[in-house]
Amino acid sequence: MTSQRPLIFDLTYSELEDYFKLKDEPAYRAEQTWVALYKYFKVDVHDISTLPTDLRAQLGEDFLFEGLTPLRTIRSEDGQTVKTLFELEDGALIEAVLMRYDERRTLCISSQSGCGLGCSFCATGQMGFSRNLTSGEIVAQVMFFARELAKTDEGVTNVVFMGMGEPFANYKQVMAALDRLNDPRGFGLGARRMTISTVGLAHKIRQFADTESQINLAVSLHTVDDELRSQLMPINKKYPVASLLDACRYYVEKTNRRLTFELALIDGVNDSAADARALAYQLQGLLCHVNLIPLNPTRSYAKTGSPVDRAKAFCDVLEESNIPCTIRLRRGIDIAAGCGQLAADSNLKS
Ligand code: SF4
């Protein structure tokens, strides 16, 4: 079922102003609508009580207000991680995860339905590419969880692009979504509370660096061995480790911001002391932090995550070289929280 109506979340503030101007409505209608959407998370246009009734009806005829339908939600055993599979208007599937940790309420959201980059250990990569999301479809994921959290007087504190897809392969829409989420007139989430995670499209890292944005950047590095990295992540053939790290140095020089390298530690594949020393050597002098995440198992990748003691030994090697390092918990492993796992399972079953 495809709607011809555009999604209201796809509009910029000035596009919304233009819309009301065309309707001969006063300029403050844009602000009223923006506040209803992004501060009160209204999803039914008829609930926007600050607008006249006939204008609400008109808006409802002209725009779609939700854009995604939750198909399935599962919770981790401890209830702290919630993962939802959504269907978009054209039937494309995406998923997003809410993680509660201390005071943080972090959303892991998708930028594409499926992904064409084919990383061998990734459930989304194993599904293939369906399509890019619009900025509104990206924003709608955040608004869905903001609405859910508001029911318990909680709010979204952080957003990371680590769900389905490579955000820099959908650069324009992702940047537009970040702008909308950051807009202080509406949702107002601080730039430093949002993170783009990329597999390393070097030219896009440079483009992003040139914006001098305060949004965090994380790079899924996994290894500095080109041969192994190309096996794990075919994109490495296009942007080998040296060119990727050059782009990372450019980013740090340009922004003076610390970037994060993510390593999915895979038992017996990229987790030896020699691997750690090679990584430490390559990252010397770069303003960075390394996150080590024992790999989430997926249906079609036979390897498992590294045991904790090996992850600790890996971390020790990095810290001896003054490279800050954290071992991250595999949160939500019991609900297949790795990106794409729920949608991939759903496709397998359909
Ligand atoms: S890890 Fe990211 S880039 Fe690689 S296949 Fe999965 S979603 Fe795509």
Does 115 sit in the ligand 1 pocket, CB within 6 Å? yes
Per-residue confidence (pLDDT) for residue 332, from 0 to 100 = 53
Q: Which atom of ligand 1 is nearest to the CA of 233?
A: 4
CA of 112 to the centre of ligand 1 (A): 10
Q: Quick check: CB of 166 below 6 Å from ligand 1?
A: yes
The vertex-33 CA angle with 28 and 38, nearest 5°, equals 125
Query: What is the C-alpha separation between 332 and 293, in angstroms, rounded?
Result: 13
Mutate to test the pocket of ligand 1, among 121, 124, 132 (most ligand atoms within 8 A of CB): 124
CA of 169, closest atom in ligand 1: 3
In whole angstroms, give the CA distance from residue 36 to residue 130: 32
- pLDDT at residue number 176: 98
Cβ-based burial of 350 (10 A; exposed 0-12, middle 13-18, buried ≥19): exposed
CA of 100 to the centre of ligand 1 (A): 23
Task: State residue 153's pLDDT score.
Answer: 97
Q: What is the pLDDT of residue 296?
A: 78
CA-nearest residue, atom 4 of ligand 1: 119
Cα–Cα distance, 98 to 108 (Å, whole number): 6
Structural element, H or E, at residue 206: helix 202-210
Full pLDDT tens readout for the chain, 350 residues: 455 789 999 999 999 999 999 999 999 999 999 999 999 999 999 999 999 999 999 999 999 998 999 999 999 888 889 999 999 999 999 999 999 989 999 999 999 999 999 998 888 888 899 999 999 999 999 999 999 999 999 999 999 999 999 999 999 999 999 999 999 999 999 999 999 999 999 999 999 999 999 999 999 999 999 999 999 999 999 999 999 999 999 999 999 999 999 999 999 999 999 999 999 999 999 999 999 999 877 766 778 899 999 999 999 999 999 999 999 866 555 555 455 555 655 543 33
Residues known to be catalytic: 95, 339
- C-beta of 200 in contact with ligand 1 (< 6 A): no
The pLDDT score that the predictor gives to residue 295 is: 87
For 27, 28, 39, 107, 194, the CA distances from 156, given in Å and listed in that order, are: 29, 27, 12, 7, 11
Ligand 1 center to 184 CA (angstroms): 31
Integer Cα distance of 45 and 23 in angstroms: 17
8 A C-beta contact, residue 280 and residue 318: yes
Q: Check: CB of residue 169 under 8 Å from CB of residue 117.
A: yes
The answer, yes or no, to whether any atom of ligand 1 lies below 6 A from the CB of 119, is yes
**Rounded to an integer, what distance in angstroms lies between the CA atom of residue 106 and that of residue 95?**
14
Question: Is any atom of ligand 1 closer than 6 Å to the C-beta of 165?
Answer: yes
Q: Tell how far CA 199 is from the center of its chain.
A: 12
Which residue, among 256, 347, 270, has the nearest Cα to 314 in the 3D structure? 270
Q: Is the CB of 156 under 6 A from ligand 1?
A: no
> Helix, strand, coil % (nearest 5) of the chain?
40, 20, 35
Torsions phi, psi of 35, nearest 5? Answer: -65, -45
Distance 283 CA to ligand 1 centre (A): 23
User: Where would I find the beta strands (DSSP E) of 133-258?
Assistant: 158-161, 194-198, 216-220
Q: Which of 272, 271, 254, 267 is nearest to 217 (CA)?
A: 254
Total residue length of the chain? 350
What is the residue with the minimal CA distance to atom 7 of ligand 1? Answer: 165
For ligand 1, the distance from its centroid to the CA atom of residue 124, given in whole angstroms, is: 6
Q: Are 204 and 198 in contact (CB under 8 A)?
A: yes
Which uninterrupted H or E stretch holds 265?
strand 259-265
Q: How far is the CA of 276 from the centre of ligand 1 (A)?
A: 23
Question: How high is the pLDDT of residue 194?
Answer: 98
- For residue 163 and ligand 1, the question of a CB distance below 6 A is answered with no
Of 97, 108, 119, which is best to mutate to test ligand 1, by the most ligand atoms within 8 angstroms of its C-beta?
119
132, 166, 222, 262: residue to mutate for ligand 1 pocket, most atoms within 8 A of CB: 166
| Sheet of strand 81-88, all strands in order from the earlier edge strand to the far edge | 68-75, 81-88, 93-101, 104-108, 158-161, 194-198, 216-220, 259-265, 288-294, 325-327
How far, in Å, is the centroid of ligand 1 from the Cα of 340?
9
For ligand 1, atom 5, name the residue with the nearest CA: 125
Backbone angles phi, psi at 172, to 5 degrees: -60, -45
CB 295 less than 6 A from any atom of ligand 1: no
